[in-house]
Amino acid sequence: MKRDAIGSPIERKTLIGQRVRKPDAPDKATGKTRYINDMVLPQMLIGKVLFAGRPHARILRIDTSAAEKLPGVHAVLTGKDAAGLKFGFVRDNVAIKDKVRCEHDEIAAVAADTEEIARRALELIEVEYEDLPGVFTPESGAAQGAPLVHDNFPGNKSLHFEFKHGDLAAAEAASEFVVDSVFRPHHVTHCCIGTSCAIADFDHNGKLTIWTQTQYPYNYKMDLAPALGIDPGDIRVIQPPIGGAFGSKLDVYPYEPIAALLAKKAGRPVKVIYSREEEFRASPTRQAAIIHMRTGCTRDGVLTFRSADVLLDNGAYTSWGPTIPVIMMRTTSGHYRVPVVDFKAQAIYTNNPYAGSFRGYGNVQTTFATAQQMDMLADMVDMDPLEFHLKNAQKSGEVTPQKSFLRECALPECLEIAAKTSDYSRKRREYAALRDKPGRYKKGIGLASSIHNAGGAKIHKSDGIGTILKVDDFARVTVISGASEIGQGIDAVITLIVAEELGVPLEHVTIVNNDSDIAPWDVGVHASRTTFIAGNGTRRAARKAKAQILNAAERMLGEPADTLELRGGFVVRDRCGTPLIDLERLLRRMHFQAEPELVMVTDYYEPKSEPEGAKHISDHSAAYSHAVHVAEVTVDTLTGEIKVDKVTVAQDVGRVISRMGLEGQI
Amino acid sequence: MQEITSYLAPRRLDEALQAMADGDATVLCGGTDLAPQTESGMRQYKAKLLNIRRIERLGGIEATGDKVRIGALTTISEIRCNPALAAIAPVLVEAAEHFASEQIRNAASVGGNLCNASPAGDMIPALLVLGASVELACWRDGAVRKRQVPLEQFFVGPGKTVKLPEELLTGVVFDRPAAGFVGRFRKSGPRPALEISTVSVAFGARVAGGRLSDVRVAMGSVAPTPLRARHVEAALEGKALDAATIAAAVAATAEDAKPIDDVRASAWYRSHLVRVFVEEVLNDVRGN
């Protein structure tokens, strides 16, 4: 009760953009947070997976009888338990395989009382293979007569993407300089501190509860259901605190349906958790690519066209990963003004571990290629690269060939700030002059820029988010949000926005965003959308609650609602800050009256972006962000060792909500 | 897989050695090699798990007399931060600096690093150039028996040493380096920390009147065991460190370093790095 404070005016204060502690930080820093690794359910079994250990083979025979007889083993799965239960982006994957297509293919799984028994059971499974010739690069996979990874995908062709704009031949003819190069960005693993883990449990109505570290709980149900042959509506997804995602949890991977199939067969909860070694082996990677890029410009250094012919190493199965050309083509066609664009990408099946989605979503690969070619062209034109970048950088108000509308484009400012702060132009000239002089150590400086969607990417039918917000009798706020916390800091963002709108302390905000049976729909954490989309959703819900509270205050106090504000736990006069009533007291009066009302509101926020569409011509994000990085390195020419001396970053981050979240991510 | 049937954590050395007498005990100290090796199936636990960390007087650094003794339990962090060693044998501190990461340095022991017998073990080349020996102890005929083995005779292959299953490495000893001793350690890997050496080179010698004597050169990750580079040493012994001597020593590396291609580097690159490091280290010593 703060009634005694009534009288002294309460000033308008804001925590938005301040360095405020993340709500989950104390528990995480002290080890109190219970991750999925720590979770133990009564009667829970441990599941373990048998990997093939060879890249391409037929399974001639598999004998699990000895494993099944081992005391303490409760379920054993082989390919026949998952037969026909195809999942994945093009339904080419099953939880347990009947043919080996990559080294980590899951051939069998067991659930046992302990991990030791499960391991021993795996050792007792006999498998006889007939090895087959494999394909290990996209080029060899695409070659005539190459062994097929999947019989029903001729030419080993997986997904294909294309975007064309303008007359390429004419643009080439009008180009004074053309640079033509091939870039090969490689596989990268996410290497999350928390390894892959799922716990699955069925009730006797056939409903599955799965504890997993997903970053897209609602569409996850759609993707998981076919791997189990159940209705997506019968899946409840609970997300314990996560030990890293970086895009990797934007898909269903075989260990998740394996946990569920084991749980179903054993009739008990089953946990599958990968060791670090298993994680490196079985988790997806960033897409390796072969990018053949060509860019042209005039004698004056004005870009004339850019073409990119991309081969993606799909790996053995198609996850969401091979959809990255959707982002690759936006980088190819935008941030530098290219009037003519010709982009195509073909994902090729290989017997390599399959690639998944990875933060940046293809942008990293094409940004590398475009940045290299900008420097090459600048040298050909004999222009300072900074000047060349600035001359071609897009500006606010421009529309890219794919119809991305750059409402605010900070690329020129980012270029100027990063170059000035790092003294880029002078250092580049100096280091270049020293390149052929004697000396073991050489220095280098490089500049690269990027565009990325910063307000979602409407690749699904909706890019929206549902929010439920309630304020209880003690003025404690609960936000039930579809936005998942995967370490990116959305809990801090939601807390700050609620505190800002409702004038309550940060500690009085509770967030429920880890249970698909409770929280409303959200498309998932991806495309740098969550602060923007969930932040706007939270603000809209909080404003609805505030309107309800201030209207009640108007009725009780006789002062117009539009002259009132919520501050410091009180209803105050907006103009002078004079507190009129304690918020808690007002809420209880609203609740316990003849016509009672509780403050509980809902909101569904859909950003004003356009669906991606099959032609890829749409303003698919509500905002676009630009960044420029300058890296300074020292190279030991005798050992090849490279030391990064300094990185200067100029990044358009928009309005900062959680400053520590921002500082942690740049 | 064999089950661990008992866990022992004795306070006295003789108790530990008695537990080891049947050769059926796995020794646990820092666990930084043991845990990943057993976890991945590379290595099996024996019936007894013997934690030696609580054994009294098995750790610590004694550097008062002519001999320097480092107890087996001494952590890499303790070596790194020891002021006496920094004065007497800075090459050891330098090697500790480049060892894994802070967390691993805090847990890993010098005894464990030696017994793991990795060709890339970071403390080994530095101890080799100090002319160190290891102390091995066992329980035999009702008493503690000890022997000393020169470190360069200790390793017989990757992960293999002359230590018997019933023996415990209790410490490492070396003569206090003579006046004018200089030592250097150089290690390479793609990352500055948490890196298994692609190649490591250590150098130790007395420099007096512009000439080198008692030259010891050791290399890691260029053969199945860490080794003394006898040909390089011969090219340097008794010589003045001029350009010709350095060139001869660099050329001699080809006789000593016999690296292989593996996931971390090619044999060609390793041989090249050895030449670069030997030349760099010698130029550095010459410059001072």
Query: Tell me, what CATH number does B166's domain have?
Result: 3.30.465.10
**According to the model, what pLDDT value does residue A2 have?**
44
Contact B1 A116 (CB under 8 A): yes
- Among A114, A281, A639, pick the best mutation site for testing chain B contact (most B Cβ within 10 A): A639
Looking at chain A, which residue has its C-alpha nearest residue B191? A641
Say yes or no for a CB contact (<8 Å) between A120 and B1.
yes
Region label for B148, one of left (φ > 0), alpha (ψ between -120 and 50) or beta (otherwise)? beta
Q: Which residues of B touch A641 (CB under 8 A)?
A: 188
Alpha-carbon span A221 to A211, nearest angstrom = 12
One domain, residues A10 and A81: no
Asked whether residue A235 falls in the same domain as residue A221, the answer is yes
Specify whether B114 is located in the same domain as B220: no
- Tell me, yes or no, whether B196 and B168 share the same domain: no
Q: State whether A23 and A41 are in the same domain.
A: no
Tell whether the model's pLDDT for residue B41 goes beyond 90.
no
Give φ, ψ of A271 to 5 degrees. -110, 130
Put simply, whether B191 touches A (Cβ < 8 Å) is no
A125 and A20 in a single domain? The answer is: no
Q: How far is B277 from chain A (nearest CA, A)?
A: 9
Q: How far apart are CA A628 and CA A450, in angstroms?
A: 7
Whether residue A15 is contained in a domain is answered as: yes
Instruction: Identify which of A116, A277, A639 has the shortest CB distance to residue B188.
Output: A639
- Chain B, 121 to 150: residues with Cβ < 8 Å from chain A are none
In a domain, A288, yes or no: no
Q: How many CA atoms lie within 13 A of A283 on its CB side?
A: 29
Conformational region of residue B223, where left means phi above 0, alpha means psi within -120 to 50, and beta covers everything else:
beta
B282 and B189 in a common domain: yes
Q: What is the CATH number of the domain that holds A468?
A: 3.30.365.10
Q: Tell me if A512 sits within 8 A of A491, measured CB to CB.
A: no
Residue B219 near chain A (CB below 8 Å): no
Q: For the beta carbon of residue A622, count every other beta carbon within 10 angstroms.
A: 22
Residue B56 lies in a domain: no
Chain B contact set for A123 (CB, 8 A)? 1
How far is A316 from A354, CA to CA, in rounded Å? Answer: 5
Q: Is residue A147 part of a domain?
A: no
Q: On the CB side of A248, how many CA atoms lie within 13 Å of its CA?
A: 26
Alpha helices in A101-213 (DSSP H): 115-123, 138-142, 168-173
Instruction: Identify the bridge partners of residue A393 per DSSP, sorted by sequence position.
Output: A336
Q: By CB neighbour count within 10 A (0-12 exposed, 13-18 middle, 19+ buried), where does A476 fall?
A: middle
Sheet strands side by side (includes A564-567)? A564-567, A570-573, A579-582
Query: CB–CB of B276 and A119 under 8 A?
Result: no
Chain A touched by B66 (CB under 8 Å):
no
B148, B175, B202: which is the final residue of a domain?
Answer: B175
| CB contact at 8 A, A332 and A306 | yes
Residues 6+ apart with CB under 8 A from A344: A160, A161, A162, A163, A308, A309, A310
Candidates B1, B103, B199: best to mutate against A (most CBs of A within 10 A) is B1
Distance from CA of B267 to the nearest CA of A (A): 14
User: What single letter denotes the amino acid at residue A148?
Assistant: L
Give B182→chain A minimum CA distance, Å. 24
- Which chain B positions have a beta carbon within 8 Å of A119's beta carbon? 1
Contacts of A639 in chain B (CB under 8 A): 188, 273, 276
Confidence at residue A4, expressed as pLDDT on a 0 to 100 scale = 47
Mapped onto helix, strand or coil, the DSSP state of residue A357 is coil
Tokens 């693993």 locate to A189
Q: Please indicate whether, in this complex, the C-beta atoms of A277 and B1 are within 8 angstroms of each other.
A: no
Q: Tell me which residues of chain A have a C-beta less than 8 Å from any C-beta of chain B.
A: 116, 119-120, 123, 275, 277, 638-639, 641
Residue of chain B with shortest Cα separation from A124:
B1
Residue B1 in domain:
no
Number of Cβ within a 10 Å radius of residue A119: 15
B280: nearest CA in chain A? Answer: A638
Cβ atoms of B226 and B220 within 8 Å: the answer is: yes
d(CA A27, CA A137): 45
Note whether A17 and A50 are same-domain residues: no
CB pairs under 8 A between A and B: 15
Domain for residue A614, yes or no? no
Residues of chain A with pLDDT under 70: 1-6
Q: pLDDT, tens digit, for every residue of A7-63?
A: 799 999 999 999 998 999 999 999 999 999 999 999 999 999 999 999 999 999 999
- Is the pLDDT at B2 greater than 70, yes or no? no
Structure tokens at A26: 């104390």
Range of the domain at B35: 6-51
Same domain, A510 and A570: yes
Q: Domain ends where: B175, B209, B242?
A: B175
**Which tens digit of pLDDT belongs to each residue from B136-171?**
999 999 999 999 999 999 999 999 999 999 999 999
Within this chain, do residues A51 and A18 fall inside the same structural domain, yes or no?
A: no
Q: What is the Cα–Cα distance from A498 to A259, expressed in whole angstroms?
A: 38
Contact yes or no for B212/B237 (Cβ under 8 A):
yes
Is B113 found in the same domain as B24?
Answer: no
Q: Are residues B169 and B197 in the same domain?
A: no
Question: Phi/psi at B39 (nearest 5 deg)?
Answer: -60, -40
Interface test with B, best of A123, A635, A636, A638 (most B CBs within 10 A): A638
Query: Which pair of tokens denotes residue A176?
Result: 């004074």
Say yes or no: B121 and B26 in one domain: no
C-alpha A249/C-alpha A298 separation (Å) is: 44
CB contact under 8 Å between B276 and A638, yes or no, is: yes
Compute φ and ψ for A374, nearest 5 degrees. Answer: -60, -45
Q: Is A508 domain-assigned?
A: yes
Q: Are residues B150 and B248 in the same domain?
A: no
Q: Where are the alpha helices (DSSP H) in chain B?
A: 13-20, 34-39, 76-80, 83-88, 90-97, 102-107, 110-115, 123-129, 151-154, 230-236, 243-256, 267-287
Show the 3-state SS of A630-666: EEEEEEECCCCCEEEEEEEEEECCCCCCCHHHHHHHC
Distance from CA of A277 to the nearest CA of B (A): 7
As for how many domains chain B has, the answer is 3
Residues B114 and B213 placed together within one structural domain of the fold: no
CB-closest option in B1, B39, B276 to A275: B39
Q: Are residues B71 and B167 in the same domain?
A: yes
Which chain A residues contact residue B280 at CB under 8 A?
A: 638
- Strand A303-315, strand A341-349: pairing: parallel
- For B122-139, the pLDDT digits (tens) are 999 999 999 999 999 999
Domain boundary among A605, A623, A650: A605
Domain that holds residue A536: 3-33+464-605
d(CA A95, CA A93): 7
How far is the C-alpha of A45 from the C-alpha of A117, rounded, in Å? 10
The number of residues making up chain B comes to: 288
DSSP per-residue codes, A498-538: HHHHH---GGGEEEE-SBTTTSPPB--S-TT-HHHHHHHHH
* In-domain check, residue A247: yes
Residues of chain B contacting residue A638, judged by C-beta atoms under 8 Å apart: 276, 280
Q: Does B155 reside within a domain?
A: yes
List the CATH number of the domain containing A120: 3.90.1170.50
How close, in Å, is residue B191 to chain A by CA atoms?
Answer: 9
Pick from A583, A605, A627: which residue ends a domain? A605
Q: In this structure, are A57 and A7 located in the same domain?
A: no
Whether A552 is covered by a domain: the verdict is yes
Pairing of strands A270-273, A197-202: antiparallel
| Domain membership flag for residue A409 | no
Q: Burial letters for A57-79: b for 16+ Cβ neighbours within 10 Å, e otherwise?
A: bebeebebeebeebeebbbbbbb
3-state secondary structure of A336: strand
For A441-462, give the DSSP string: EEEEEEEEEEEEESS----SS-
Measured distance between the N- and C-terminal CA atoms of chain A, rounded to whole angstroms: 42
pLDDT of residue A3: 45
**Phi, psi torsion values for A288, nearest 5 degrees:** -75, 145
Spatial contact of B130 and B228, defined as CB atoms under 8 Å apart? no
Report yes or no: A425 and A384 within 8 Å, Cβ to Cβ. Answer: yes
CB contact (8 A) between residue B1 and residue A119:
yes
Q: Taken in order A183, A187, A193, A194, is the CA torsion positive or negative?
A: positive
Number of domains in chain A: 2
- The answer to whether the CB atoms of A120 and B276 lie below 8 A apart is no
Q: Do B40 and A277 touch (CB under 8 A)?
A: yes
* Domain edge (last residue) among A247, A282, A317: A282
CA distance B54 to A329: 62
Quote the ipTM score: 0.86
Amino acid letter, residue A113:
D
- A306, A313, A421: which is closest to A370 by C-alpha? A306
- Residue A559: count of CB within 10 angstroms of its CB: 14
Same domain, A27 and A43: no
